[in-house]
Amino acid sequence: MDRIRIVGGNELHGVIPISGAKNAALPLMIASLLTDDTLTLENVPHLADVEQLIRILGNHGADISVNGRRERQGESYARTIHFTSRNIVSTTAPYELVSKMRASFWVIGPLLAREGKARVSLPGGCAIGTRPVDLFIEGLAALGANIEIDGGYVNATAPEGGLVGGRYVFPKVSVGATHVLMMAATLANGTTVIGNAAREPEVADLAKCLNAMGARISGAGTGTITIEGVRSLSGARHRVLPDRIETGTYAMAVAMTGGDVILEDTDASLLETALEAIRRTGAEISATNSGIRIVRNGAGIKPVDIVTDPFPGFPTDLQAQFMGLMTKSSGVSHITETIFENRFMHVQELARLGAKISLSGQTAKVEGVSRLKGAPVMATDLRASVSLVIAALAAEGETMVSRVYHLDRGFERLEEKLTRCGAHVERVSD
């Protein structure tokens, strides 16, 4: 099993290309099930979760081909993938596939809308919280679906003639359920209104793609989304938006180590709240023609309090990384997690590097220390794993991060990108 070895102490200088967003690519790929034409997606990152979803879509009959790689410095940092779901050969998403990645449950929306039925395994628990599917079920029921849960599977059927437009107000914001309900409503009869919808850029990106396919969606990116159903969707070509979580992660890495890095092919407007928090720590952030420039000149890291919230608030997917940054602040900071109930599992691993963190409910108190020291640590989930990398970059000596398959789910070529900016990071295969 691979591990990542990091020797801390180096500033970061150079250019880091930002990949396409995993959180946008996954729902876009699933949207290909809505049409029998070809959906072409550009700027798709090469990640374990993307590869797993390719296998899942293939199970339903999608034909998938990869080409048009964009070369940079002799290596590929983006892919163009063509998805053609001319014939749906199965409307069942089995447990052995869904259990490996929660987002695969989202196929229930397109399958139900296009085929009138879907049998999808319940995804089960998750390391960072239960994340139940009740909002998905209630939303689809508002479109007329009949849904039963039996033997660990959600069995959904549309009324004769297909799904019907309806109104559903989410009792709490859910990005995944917003994706699913929006996709299902594109082929429903009549108009659907989604209230308290997720406002994340990835939701707006999906709507942009669906509209290019012939859907009639307005309001995506706001709290109210309106979808006028159409009889069918066509193919389209769409470019996946930049990964705002990867952008924020590398910005925090520079704020942690010091240095001067340009993050290419990204957009500051996708994560303004997070960038403002990083600025308050003492880093300088400015827009460039190609992306964002992050500079920290060696001054101390100022403590900053944050509270995670749905977009446009501070992203929960950057909470662990920001905690890694705060471990070396010049004072005390407080980090409150409001989205997931178990998203502080990285605390004990950061403590192995010398961090001083205490928990009270959903708030972590981080007392900055003057030095961190390398140690063996273990990744517990995707975002927690990269928080350990950020801390290790500023720690004295060697840190060995195990279970890096978590990193491979969401960060494309992390060790290569950091090494090109002067970090000592390498993958070690046992």
Q: Which of 17-31, 231-245, 394-408 has the lowest mean pLDDT?
A: 394-408
pLDDT single digits (tens) 170-187:
999 999 999 999 999 999
Q: What percent of the chain has pLDDT over 90?
A: 84
Q: How far is CA 50 from CA 207, 240, 381, in A?
A: 20, 13, 17
Catalytic residues: 126
Separation between Cα atoms, residue 137 and residue 188, nearest integer Å: 16
Asked if pLDDT for residue 199 goes beyond 80, the answer is yes
pLDDT band at 78, cuts 50/70/90?
Answer: confident
Q: What is the pTM of this model?
A: 0.94
Separation between Cα atoms, residue 346 and residue 368, nearest integer Å: 16
Q: Which CATH architecture has domain 22-227?
A: Alpha-beta prism (3.65)
Asked if pLDDT for residue 281 goes beyond 50, the answer is yes
- Residue 260 DSSP SS3: strand
CATH, domain range 2-16+242-429: 3.65.10.10
63 is in an annotated binding site: no
135 is in an annotated binding site: yes
102 is in an annotated binding site: yes
23 is in an annotated binding site: yes
- List the beta bridge partners of residue 373: 396
317 is in an annotated binding site: yes
Q: Do 372 and 394 form a contact (C-beta atoms < 8 A)?
A: yes
Each domain of the chain, given as residue ranges in start order, spans: 2-16+242-429, 22-227
Asked if pLDDT for residue 309 goes beyond 70, the answer is yes
One fold for 2-16+242-429 and 22-227 = yes
Asked if pLDDT for residue 128 goes beyond 50, the answer is no
Q: Do 69 and 77 form a contact (C-beta atoms < 8 A)?
A: no
Q: In sequence order, what are the residues at sequence separation of 6 or more whose Cβ sits closer than 8 angstroms to the Cβ of residue 130? A: 341
pLDDT band at 77, cuts 50/70/90?
Answer: low
